[in-house]
Amino acid sequence: MKNRQRIGVDLDDTSFDFIGALILFHNAVYGTYLKKEHFLSHRYHNVWGGTGEEASKKVDYFSTTKYFDKMQPIFGATEAISLLARDRDLMAITARPKNIKEKTAWQVRKHFGNNLNPIFHSYNHFTKVPNDGTKLEICLRENISAMIEDSLEYALQFADTGIKVLLFGNYPWNQNGRLPSNISRVENWKEVLEQLK
């Protein structure tokens, strides 16, 4: 039997509309008028003010609210992941902290069944918590041949590794010049399916 391709899938803003849910939360709780175009990076204190530590506390609080719990999949993600899981092994690789591991697993099962399994919690460059290693370390250890990722910062760690990266979404935070040859932009899940034929 032929070996199944192993694919890493990021969760936030690749599989789930994290920023959309975060915006709903922040606008409702703090009276702001944030939109996606304001998020030029994942350094949220540069978007809404304050310090990096204060931004981390806000995101921690967000993860305890109904806005986080009601977060929806990105358009097309559920169907595409179900299709890919038929003949490939998909695993979630997320920089979410492990203190929301159970909630993350619940969300993934609710929307994607067992199609993203296992779930690895990677190093997060804001909290500096090592978790299961960097996304690249996890991909190398798990023999991943392709990674679907929205963060330019994380994607660039894969430069010249031989691992294909699909840089997901036409987001303000992942625009920046030329990409290494192993990183391709995909705007949506339809384009992911086309790239992984």
Mean of the pLDDT values across residues 8-16?
A: 98
Say which CATH number the domain at 162 has: 3.40.50.1000
What span, in angstroms and rounded, lies between the C-alpha atoms of 46 and 173?
12
What pLDDT digit, counting tens, does each position of 168-189 carry? 999 999 998 789 999 999 999 9
Q: Does one domain contain both 27 and 59? A: yes
Looking at residue 3, its pLDDT comes to 80
Question: Are 92 and 182 contained in the same domain?
Answer: yes
93 with 160, same domain: the answer is yes
Specify the DSSP class assigned to residue 37.
Answer: G
**Inter-residue contact 146 to 88 (CB < 8 Å):** no
Q: Is the pLDDT of residue 92 over 70?
A: yes
* pTM metric for this prediction: 0.95
Question: What pLDDT does 1 receive?
Answer: 45
CB neighbour burial string for 153-175, b if at least 16 within 10 angstroms, e if fewer: ebbebbeeeebbbbbbbebebbe
* Residue ranges making up the domain that contains 110: 5-17+72-195
Q: Tell how strand 146-149 and strand 5-9 pair up.
A: parallel
Looking at the structure, tell me whether residues 91 and 170 fall in a common domain.
yes
What is the per-residue pLDDT for 116?
97
114 shares a domain with 29: no
Domains of the chain: total: 2
Residues 94 and 175 in one domain: yes
The Cβ of residue 6 has, within 10 Å, a number of other Cβ atoms equal to: 15
One domain for residues 123 and 140 = yes
pLDDT band with cut points at 50, 70 and 90 for residue 41: confident
